Amino acid sequence: MQLIERNEPGLYHLDSNATERWSFYQLVCALKEHYNTGWKIVPNTDYEHDQRLVDERIALPALSHRFG
């Protein structure tokens, strides 16, 4: 709704992980629980890279709002 109300053309980066900053491991564990899958998830921190983009024009609810 925020995008419609803005009525401004352009590119927007929608990031519901901007405030909580869940790791990929945390996100996959939440998906596993939400969809009740039988995935075996093994954490690995050999490579760490934060590639979040910040676009403060549009606010989204945090991931925990959706996945608890």
pTM score > 0.75 for this model?
no
What is the three-class DSSP state of 37? coil
Phi, psi of 63 (to 5 degrees): -55, -35
- Tens-digit pLDDT profile for residues 12-24: 888 888 888 898 8
Q: Which residue type occupies 38?
A: G
Q: Where are the domains of the chain?
A: 1-68
Phi, psi of 34 (to 5 degrees): -60, -45
- Tens-digit pLDDT profile for residues 5-55: 888 888 888 888 888 889 889 999 999 999 999 999 999 989 888 777 778
